[in-house]
Amino acid sequence: MKKYKTPILLFAIFEIIAISLWLATGNLFFLLNFTYIGLCIGVGSALQAAGKKYAREFVQFGVGAYMLVFLGLICRENMQIEGFWYYLLSGVFGAGVLHYLIAKIFGPLLFGRGWCGYCCWTAMILDLLPYKQPQGPRKKIGYIRYIVFALSLILVLLLFHFGKATKQTMFMIFLVGNLLYYVVGILLAIAFKDNRAFCKYICPITVFLKPMSYYSWLRVRCDEEKCIQCGKCLEVCPMDVEVNKDSRDRINATECILCNKCKKVCPVKALK
Ligand code: SF4
Ligand code: SF4
Ligand code: SF4
């Protein structure tokens, strides 16, 4: 049962959020939404703990497709960063803001960049591309994320300034924004031979995710006494994390998406 401690804990956390929000707002949506997401994450991480092959993909598609198709396309909620700015500036503390607070701002203190490894609908598609391990050195263009972050805020401020900040406009921005993310993400993955190039250099959400995940409770620990420096973990890591060090200051520490690929290849079980 010990190996199922984290899946049970994750499900319990989502259930507490689901019930608390339901009771606080009287809105049944919160109960169903967070119970569904918690179930996907709980079952997926239990499958992963049991060594099942496509456990992470199960969660990625279970949560990612639900958010993109149901919440985004059917319910017309803009869950991208522009939607977050829009709801925040409108003073609406609704699903969009809650989503950011839980998954991308405060949640990472607990589960790091679990969102990126298991729930993101952009990465859900990018991870299907053939460059699962980066085939070249990391580029020094990570500053682009700050430009995209600033542009997203400026765009929404301009919409408010010109009186165009409506739900309909935000839905159109959601459609165009997603399409753009997929096109840029796929082209960049092909150009750099790296499925996660978009995550490393462009994605504006990492401006929230990276600093918060530095302090994450859930993280891959390395027993440096056990490590034989074979380098296998470094070869398979899609995010170039120096995972054979235990320090929070290891290279690209805040890039870890908790995919657990490194743990699977470690011959001496030094990674936990
Ligand atoms: S970095 Fe951005 S695009 Fe990549 S998985 Fe995380 S949220 Fe999704
Ligand atoms: S391979 Fe290991 S260090 Fe790299 S992202 Fe996955 S869990 Fe993190
Ligand atoms: S795979 Fe294990 S033994 Fe090899 S370098 Fe990584 S942590 Fe060390």
pLDDT in tens, 210-241: 999 999 999 999 999 999 999 999 999 999 99
> Which ligand gives the minimal distance to the CA of 232?
3
pLDDT value of position 6? 87
Pocket of ligand 1 (CB under 6 A): 116, 120, 122-123, 198-199, 203, 205-206
Q: pLDDT averaged over the chain?
A: 95
Average pLDDT over residues 129-143: 94
∠ Cα 1 57 148 (to 5°): 120
Q: Across residues 148-175, what is the average pLDDT? A: 96
**pLDDT interval class at 193 (50, 70, 90):** very high
d(C-alpha 106, C-alpha 208), whole Å: 9
Tell me if residue 164 falls in helix, strand or coil.
coil
pLDDT value of residue 227? 97
Question: Which ligand has an atom closest to residue 195 CA?
Answer: 1
78 lines ligand 3 (CB under 6 A): no
Tell me, what's the pLDDT at 96?
79
Mutate to test the pocket of ligand 3, among 221, 224, 227, 265 (most ligand atoms within 8 A of CB): 227
What's 221-272's CATH class?
alpha beta
Is residue 1 predicted with pLDDT exceeding 80?
no
Angle CA 165–170–176, to nearest 5: 135
DSSP 133: S
Task: Calculate the CA dihedral of residues 19, 42, 44, 57 and round it to 10 degrees.
Answer: 40
Where does residue 30 rank: exposed (0-12), middle (13-18), buried (19+ CB within 10 A)? buried
Q: Is the CB of 268 under 6 A from ligand 3?
A: yes
Please tell me the distance from the alpha carbon of residue 160 to that of residue 164, in angstroms, as a whole number: 6
Nearest atom of ligand 2 to the alpha carbon of 240:
4
61, 68, 84, 122, best to mutate for ligand 1 pocket (most atoms within 8 Å of CB): 122
CA of 113 to the centre of ligand 1 (A): 9
> How many Å apart are CA 118 and CA 99, to the nearest integer?
15
271 C-beta closer than 6 A to ligand 3? yes
| Closest ligand by atom to 149 CA | 1
108, 218 Cβ separation under 8 angstroms: no
127 C-beta neighbours (distance < 10 Å), count: 21
CB of residue 13 inside a 6 A radius of ligand 3: no
Burial (CB count <10 Å: 0-12, 13-18, 19+), residue 14: buried
pLDDT of 194: 97
Going through 132-200 in order, the beta strands assigned E by DSSP cover none
Distance 106 CA to ligand 1 centre (A): 16
- Which ligand ends up closest to the CA of 261? 2
Lowest mean pLDDT, pick from 84-93, 143-152, 228-237: 84-93
Residue 271 gets which letter from DSSP?
Answer: B
Using the mean position of ligand 2's atoms as its centre, give its distance from the Cα of residue 238 in Å. Answer: 7
Nearest residue (CA) to ligand 1, atom 7? 116
Q: How does residue 98 score in pLDDT terms, banded at 50, 70 and 90?
A: confident
For residue 2, what pLDDT is reported?
77
Task: State the Cα–Cα distance between residues 10 and 103, nearest whole angstrom.
Answer: 13
